[in-house]
Structure 1
């Protein structure tokens, strides 16, 4: 079997030659902002419900584009890339905080670790044991797909915000700057929503921004599961009408193994050797998201408690894994709301 490897530093250096603008991504950015603006300015006066729903789709697409940008697209200039997604249509998450935690998530040896993977939905046994019963039931509901779509947004936002403010209080200047920049973009964005579009801010936040996170949670719901082999922890969803909205991150294993490949090339990488990819992730494959919905709409796919990483002191299988950078994220003591710090 041919070996599929990650992009290497030398390949990254090769990508920096020339201007290297990825025009499909630039075009999609224009479409995203155009859809958002058209829905708010043109559609809302006549069809307000349709407008806020369309804006929710734009928020989901913008979130996918933020993910693309943090991986070094569509140009080779990080500041230009950040400027392209600077307006926080999704309201809740500072881009730089998302970038920091998501790149930490890409340490595949730590995938699903409730301590060192900021996007893990698993909890340690000790943390679980200390939770009140009501919160245990809430997390159990959150592990169904319907629960993740309905309960996931507030759980993620509250948990993430608490974690970020803890870092700010302890003097983390990078996190503080991330929030300052976020507010610099958020204030004019909400002014456009309320003053130009005439949409109440509560309606935009409560419907459009909420819907955007909810849509993205369909993708992130079962992106990762525990497996002894790191490659077996990441899903492949072969076909879906939602794939373009997710920028083909339904082929999530392909993205994790080739994180610098632009979104529009992921399908061709998968189609070139699907059997090899499926062998690599030990058959963690679904045909589409409807198959996932039918199986797990009202049934938890995974337990809340991590099958291996059970103790807060890491004196478990965690010690058998290669040493990574120290974990600087939210503490999972007591009953913290940090179900997952950020959307994937």
Structure 2
């Protein structure tokens, strides 16, 4: 039997991609509509967290696929259609790419933002309380600050805080500002600005930011190999297989719907496999040391796609 190669799993499917986008948007609208109809504070808070889950599926899991040009057969569509999945989350695809690609190339070394973020969160302290850092503080609102710095400010300024970087960031993001100007004016004129606030910004700033922080930590913190795979089927159903993170680093051009098969074929023996949130938490608090050789394999994000030495 021929051994599988990363290239065997690389393809693009417009129908699957549009259906995935449609699923998330429909879920958000239907949950919001039901909550408005029910007019109940308990149902509202449940709705906020459910909307936040689908916001994360759309604005992080699928946008992450967009950043790697994994959604559409036409490469140009990924940026042309960013009003569907990136602008609603206050960022552009180009700024996300500038911020994200060094993470693949320089994983856990100079150039990767992850070590700095872990330091910022307090995860490098010997007396850290992981439960407090990952669950209590974000739930109480700390993740909003992290969201603003990590998701909006850093990508916008390309990690540089001088005046020219700010002006440059604004120039490159004018479509984003126009998008939100139209949205806010539209909701305002229709008398529904409160709906935009309650059913978009509250889930975004509370739940989406909570999940963003949690995901960034669970994907790489305290691993042997450099990246953790969460193979829990429920998590991967909601988040478009985003749990299969190790194989994504091996070959970032594999689309989300091929990641489970690629994981089984290419790296099922990875030492950092979690089967759910409790399993992940146990791994986050264990004592271990990262394997440098494994990091080198992941840093490329450039596994050869064929039997020759060509890199993607």
Q: Same fold (TM over 0.5)?
A: yes
The structural deviation recorded for 1:29 is 0.8
Q: Does 1:214 align with 2:213?
A: no
CA separation of 1:41 and 1:243: change in aligned 2, threshold 3 A: same
- Partner residue of 2:194? 199
Between the aligned partners of 1:261 and 1:220, the Cα distance in structure 2 is: 20
Alpha-carbon offset, residue 157 of structure 1: 1.5
Q: How does 1:245-256 map to 2 (within 5 A)?
A: 245-256=238-249
User: Counterpart in 2 of 1:277?
Assistant: 267
- Cα pair 1:142 1:152 within 8 Å, conserved: no
Q: Are residues 1:288 and 2:276 paired?
A: yes
Q: Which residue of 2 aligns with 1:327?
A: none
Q: For 2:147, which of 132, 137, 156 is the aligned residue?
A: 156
Please give the alpha-carbon distance, in whole angstroms, between the structure 2 residues aligned to 1:261 and 1:284: 20
Distance 2:174 2:192 in 1: 25
Aligned twin of 2:135: 146
Structure number with the bigger relative contact order (C-alpha 8 A, sep ≥ 6) is 1
2:18 paired with 1:26: yes
Q: 1:82 aligns with which of 79, 84, 98?
A: 79
Change (3 A) 1:263 1:119: same
Q: Do structure 1's residue 70 and structure 2's residue 64 form an aligned pair? A: no
Instruction: Return the alpha-carbon distance in structure 2 between the equivalents of residues 45 and 192 of structure 1.
Output: 21
Q: Which residue does 1:329 correspond to in 2?
A: none
| Residues 196-224 of structure 1 deviation map (CA, whole Å, 9 limit, x = unaligned) | 75535543423344212223433332211
The gaps in structure 2 that reach 5 residues or longer are 300-312
Partner in structure 2 of residue 183 of structure 1 = 177
Mapped contact 2:144–2:205 kept (Cα < 8 A)? no
Partner in structure 1 of residue 257 of structure 2: 264
Change (3 A) 1:196 1:242: farther
Segments of structure 1 that go 5 or more residues without pairing to the other structure are 129-135, 309-316, 325-344
Greater percentage in helix: 2
Contact 2:65 2:255 (C-alpha < 8 Å) held by counterparts = yes
Number of equivalent positions:
278
User: TM-score, structure 2 length as denominator?
Assistant: 0.70
Q: In structure 2, what is the Cα distance between the partners aligned to 1:248 and 1:196?
A: 38
Contact 1:39 1:54 in 2 (8 A): yes
For 2:194, what is the secondary structure of its paired residue?
coil
Confirm whether residue 99 of structure 1 aligns to residue 97 of structure 2: yes
Residue equivalent to 2:113: 118
**1:161 to 1:238, Cα distance in 2 relative to 1, 3 A:** closer
Q: Is the 8 A contact 1:168 1:176 kept in 2?
A: no
> Which residue does the alignment assign to 1:238?
231
Are residues 52 and 197 of structure 1, via their aligned partners in 2, closer, same or farther at CA, if it must alter by over 3 Å?
farther
CA deviations over 1:206-257 (Å, ceiling 9, x no partner): 33442122234333322114678xxx10112222411122221211111111
TM-score by length of 1: 0.64
What is the CA RMSD across the aligned residues, in angstroms? 4.1
